């Protein structure tokens, strides 16, 4: 079983159904924003002690699974 299958849930009663780490109201997108801002996994765990390393890694794994197969348009085509 992949980490994301165990740790990531989507419940309409929690954050409007956004994918979150099980047992928290911490969304996958929040974890990605933290990482994008330069935080490390250890920084996230320090700031949110109720999270687990497995939960944070599951959020990253989930995001990668969602993006797999997606096409990214070159910037010049977006204008």
| Inside any domain, residue 72 | no
Note the helical H segments in 10-74.
28-36, 41-47, 53-67
41 within a domain of the structure (yes/no): yes
Inside any domain, residue 75: no
53 assigned to some structural domain: yes
pLDDT bin (cut points 50, 70, 90) of residue 72 is low
**Which residues form the domain of 50?**
3-64
In a domain, 70, yes or no: no
What's the pTM value of the predicted model, to 2 decimals?
0.84
Q: At 56, which CATH number? A: 1.10.10.10
CA distances from 50 to 23, 25, 28, 73, 79 (A): 9, 11, 15, 38, 42
Q: Decide if pLDDT at 58 tops 80.
A: yes
The reply to whether 51 falls in a domain is: yes
Q: What is the pLDDT of residues 3-43, one digit of tens each?
A: 889 999 999 999 999 999 999 999 999 999 999 999 999 99
Residue 55 lies in a domain: yes
Number of domain units in the chain: 1
Q: Is residue 14 part of a domain?
A: yes
| Range 67-73 average pLDDT | 68
């Amino acid at each position: 079983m992949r980490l994301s299958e165990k740790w990531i849930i989507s419940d309409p009663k929690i954050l409007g159904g956004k994918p979150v780490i099980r047992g928290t109201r911490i969304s996958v997108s929040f974890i990605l924003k933290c990482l994008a801002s330069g935080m490390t996994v250890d920084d996230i765990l320090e700031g949110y002690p109720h999270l687990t390393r497995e939960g944070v890694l599951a959020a990253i794994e989930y995001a990668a699974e969602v993006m797999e197969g997606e096409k990214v348009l070159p910037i010049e085509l977006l204008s």
